[in-house]
């Protein structure tokens, strides 16, 4: 097991801290706001109790997991002895460049420097570094202690051995790493989310279905199987002869649809106005935070269910 | 409650029978193969036991649900007194036209004639009918007794009152109807599945990720939240100010991605060869059926989990 430095201890950083410490790693939290690590640790104390009630601490006690975490007073202290750095600063390329310059200067030569960025390519902020071969993106879906998938995205100059080491480190922490072969805008998950959202916006814009109907189609329909199989395994099991049989049966339908699925709906203007009215009618603005708490409780219950189902029925 | 006629008692028809009878409707099964309804009822007996063990019979006993079902010797007998017909004949437009001609001639004037077709528009096989105003599509995701979503798709001449009556009938049977305002290839769910699959195929074709990595991105990532919220609610809760805030933050990323998301990957040829090799390496052809059984068990456990979570945490 290893020491992890969390650089930037806000929303994403503190969630990573839980995930890494739960796996037995020592985790040092640092932030340029000197009060942030202590605030993160307070928040984490509450989360650990709930995770424990849901059987999601891998048999460890909250105190044991908490005992693996500490607040670092300086960046140097956080990096001292760290084999993995998880950087979670704001999504601004200049800020990423600056912090990576500091990280590369201060961290030992074998330390992996991983960024949580969702929207910036790793090449955009690591090219100038002497140690750029140990830099890459490890992008979570929040919160990583409930969502196993994490994208490992190399820049063109990232050492393949660093990619493999990072993949193995994530697997050891209970994650399901997606190892990209090269970088691209949106990585894997946001590209698929984007493709699906484009169609969701088109269906509403063109008057085929309501916003709620689109949500029903996913939450009470497609996403049930997707939530334990993914889209390729789903189609592989959806025709008697497997994926080739599926494509032979449904290719004409998907190809015909595709003719009207290439344009981008206007995400702003009247369409967005309508979507916002619909959502705010269902959920007033002052209830958003309460609903986010509901979402996190449902996500935790689902994570616990998936572990049970994998044990009892198989994965 | 009502009488339902199942026309075509194969894979889809027998699954609908369970869903409708579980809600207390009387269900008559008919098939042009005279032995099919009895075979369907045998199969159903096994499923009812498993559903009962998972608490998915709405408090009814298997015997009670089974008592609502019968095999009809003739189409006339099946239709006698039926208020809803669920048609599940093969996906061939000529067959649909022919069975709809018979159904329209034999069914009482107030009987709704709903087709389970996934790939044929309702206008393609109902235009010629005197009673075309009571015809529409009700497309399930299989099996409907585990997946609540069902698409209600009117032809241009479908009576809006028939759409509403069908929607209410489905809701009373525990379904989550998607009420389309007009027909379009792929309806809502296959259009969204298609958009996502297009990106999945592109990511693999262009060498960004493996087939398994794409599946991880959905089953261990995006589909967790989607499985209880849908894509619009997901983005509404994913920015502090709701959906408008989300679009303002991420529009540039999604618009940039969209530039490279418009073409259709070659679903056949070398790409499909590679996908098939990958899938058959993970799951040999002779294990497909076993894995489908696993899928249905996981789906049933998930359905039971969702009911529990909705009760305990809220919907």
A98 Cβ under 8 Å from any chain B Cβ: no
pLDDT-above-70 percentage for chain A: 100
Interface touch B216/A268, C-beta < 8 Å? no
Q: For residue B237, give the chain A residue with the closest CA.
A: A292
**Could you say which of A191, A209, A217 has the minimum Cβ distance to residue B203?**
A191
Task: Check residue B49 and give its pLDDT.
Answer: 96
Contact between chains at B198 and A258 (C-beta distance less than 8 A): yes
Residue A183 pLDDT more than 90? yes
Cβ atoms of residues A159 and A113 within 8 Å: no
B261–A141 CB contact, under 8 Å: no
Q: Say what the pLDDT of residue A1 is.
A: 78
- Number of helices (H), then strands (E), belonging to chain A: the values are 14, 8
In this prediction, residue B24 has a pLDDT band, given cuts at 50, 70 and 90, of very high
Percent residues over pLDDT 90 in chain A? 99
- In angstroms, the Cα distances linking A208 to A171, A211, B18, B229 are 42, 10, 29, 20
What count of Cα atoms within 13 Å lies in the side-chain half-sphere of residue A262?
10
Beta pairing, strands B135-140 & B26-30: unpaired
Say what the pLDDT of residue B236 is.
Answer: 97
Q: How many C-beta atoms lie closer than 10 Å to residue B241's C-beta?
A: 12
Q: What is the pLDDT of residues B118-172, one digit of tens each?
A: 999 999 999 999 999 999 999 999 999 999 999 999 999 999 999 999 999 999 9
Task: Work out the pLDDT band at A143, boundaries 50, 70, 90.
Answer: very high
Residue B1 clears pLDDT 90, i.e. is over it? no
Q: Which of residues 169-208 of A touch B (CB under 8 A)?
A: 176-182, 184-186, 188-200, 203, 206-208
**DSSP H stretches of helix in A86-150:** 93-106, 123-126
Helix axes B189-205, B269-282, angle to 10 degrees: 100
Residues A271-294 have pLDDT tens digits of 999 999 999 999 999 999 999 999
Minimum-distance CB partner of A186 among B188, B253, B313: B253
A286 to chain B, any CB pair closer than 8 A? The answer is no
Contact B148 A276 (CB under 8 A): no
Question: So what's the pLDDT on residue A186?
Answer: 97
Convert the pLDDT of each residue in B47-100 to its tens digit: 999 999 999 999 999 999 999 999 999 999 999 999 999 999 999 999 999 999
pLDDT tens across A17-40, in order?
Answer: 999 999 999 999 999 999 999 999
Contact A301 B279 (CB under 8 A): no
Asked if B305 is an interface residue toward chain A (Cβ–Cβ < 8 A), one would say yes
Q: Which two tokens stand for residue A188?
A: 């894997």
Q: Which residues of B touch A189 (CB under 8 A)?
A: 217, 221-222
**Nearest in space to A253 (alpha carbons), one of B135, B114, B198, B63:** B198
pTM for the model stands at 0.97
Mean pLDDT for chain A? 97
pLDDT of residue A162: 98
Which residues, in sequence order, are bridge partners of residue B26? B3
Q: Which residues of B70-79 are buried (b: 16+ CB within 10 A; e: fewer)?
A: bbbeebeebb
> What is the rounded average pLDDT of the residues A149-164?
98
Q: Note the helical H segments in A150-268.
A: 160-172, 189-205, 211-217, 223-229, 231-236, 243-258
Of A10, A244, A145, which is closest to residue B270 (Cα–Cα)? A244
Q: Which among B210, B242, B305 has the least Cβ separation from residue A279?
A: B242
Q: Do A197 and B256 lie within an 8 Å CB cutoff?
A: no
Among the partner-chain residues A196, A209, A227, the one whose CB lies closest to the CB of B195 is A196
- Measure in Å the smallest separation between the Cα of A279 and chain B Cα atoms: 8
Q: Which residues in chain A are contacts of B272 at CB distance < 8 A?
A: 243-244, 247
Q: Find the angle CA(B244)-CA(B249)-CA(B253) to the nearest 5 degrees.
A: 120
Provide, rounded to the nearest whole percent, the portion of chain B with pLDDT above 90.
Answer: 99
Q: Residues 6 or more apart from B209 whose CB is under 8 A from it?
A: A178, A179, A180, A181, A188, B203, B217
Q: How far apart (Å, rounded) are the C-alpha atoms in residues A300 and A294?
A: 10
Q: In 3-state terms, chain B is what percent helix, strand and coil (to 5)?
A: 55, 10, 35
Q: Look at the block and give the residue holding tokens 């095999």.
A: B71
Contact A268 B285 (CB under 8 A): no
Query: Per residue in B259-302, pLDDT tens?
Result: 999 999 999 899 999 999 999 999 999 999 999 999 999 999 99
The count of CB pairs under 8 A between chains A and B is 360
How far is Cα A30 from Cα A248, in angstroms, rounded to an integer? 54
pLDDT tens digit sequence for A61-77: 999 999 999 999 999 99
**Given 3-state DSSP classes, what are the helix, strand and coil percentages for chain A, each rounded to the nearest 5?**
55, 10, 35
Q: Which residues in chain B have their CB less than 8 angstroms from residue A235's CB?
A: 197
Identify from B120, B147, B218, B290 which residue to disrupt to test chain A contact, counting A C-beta atoms within 10 A and taking the largest count. B218
Q: Are A243 and A183 in contact (CB under 8 A)?
A: no
pLDDT digits (tens, 9 = 90+) for A110-130: 999 999 999 999 999 999 999
pLDDT higher than threshold 90 for residue B16: yes
The overall average pLDDT reported for chain B is 97
Q: What is the pLDDT of residues B191-242, one digit of tens each?
A: 999 999 999 999 999 999 999 999 999 999 999 999 999 999 999 999 999 9
Verify whether the Cβ–Cβ distance B149 to A216 is below 8 Å. yes
pLDDT at A174: 96
Q: In chain B, pLDDT over 70 holds for what percent of residues? A: 100
Of B217, B228, B294, nearest to A189 by CB-CB distance is: B217
| Cβ-defined contact of B257 to A194 (cutoff 8 Å) | yes
Residues of B in contact with A242 (CB under 8 A): 276, 279-280, 285, 288
Query: Which range among A192-196, A264-268, A306-310 shows the weakest confidence by mean pLDDT?
Result: A264-268
Q: Does B124 touch chain A (CB under 8 A)?
A: no
In chain B the first and final C-alpha atoms are separated, in Å, by 26
- Could you tell me if A226 lies within 8 Å of chain B, comparing CB atoms? yes
CA-based nearest residue in chain B for residue A141 = B221
Distance from CA of A295 to the nearest CA of B (A): 8
- 8 Å CB contact of A176 and B220: yes
Q: What is the pLDDT confidence band of residue A235, given thresholds at 50, 70 and 90?
A: very high
Question: How distant is the Cα of A28 from the closest Cα of chain B, in angstroms?
Answer: 26
């Amino acid at each position: 097991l290893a020491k992890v430095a969390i650089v930037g201890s806000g929303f994403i950083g503190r969630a990573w801290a839980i995930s890494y410490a739960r796996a037995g790693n020592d985790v040092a939290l640092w932030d340029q706001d000197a009060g942030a690590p202590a605030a993160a640790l307070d928040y984490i104390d509450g989360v650990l109790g709930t995770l424990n009630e849901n059987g999601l601490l891998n048999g460890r006690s909250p105190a044991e997991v908490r005992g693996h975490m500490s607040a670092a007073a300086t960046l140097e202290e956080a990096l001292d002895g760290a084999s993995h750095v998880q950087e979670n600063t704001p999504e601004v390329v200049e800020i990423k460049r600056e912090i990576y310059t500091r990280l590369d200067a201060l961290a030992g030569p074998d330390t992996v420097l991983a960024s949580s960025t969702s929207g910036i390519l790793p090449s955009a902020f690591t090219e100038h570094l002497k140690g750029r071969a140990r830099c890459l993106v490890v992008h979570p879906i929040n919160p990583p202690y409930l969502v196993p998938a994490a994208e490992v995205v190399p820049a063109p100059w990232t050492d393949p051995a660093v990619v493999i080491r990072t993949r193995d480190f994530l697997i050891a922490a209970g994650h399901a790493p997606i190892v990209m072969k090269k970088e691209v805008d949106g990585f894997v998950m946001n590209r698929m989310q984007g493709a699906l959202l484009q169609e969701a916006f088109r269906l509403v814009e063109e008057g085929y279905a309501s916003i709620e109907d689109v949500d029903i189609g996913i939450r009470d329909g497609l996403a049930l199987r997707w939530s334990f199989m993914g889209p390729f395994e789903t189609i592989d099991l959806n025709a008697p002869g497997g994926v080739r049989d599926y494509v032979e049966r449904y290719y004409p339908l998907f190809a015909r649809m595709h003719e009207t699925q290439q344009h981008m709906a206007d995400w702003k203007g009247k369409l967005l106005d309508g979507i916002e009215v619909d959502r705010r009618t269902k959920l007033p603005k002052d209830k958003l935070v309460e609903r986010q708490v509901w979402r996190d409780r449902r996500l935790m219950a689902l994570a616990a269910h998936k572990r049970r189902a994998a044990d009892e029925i198989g994965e």
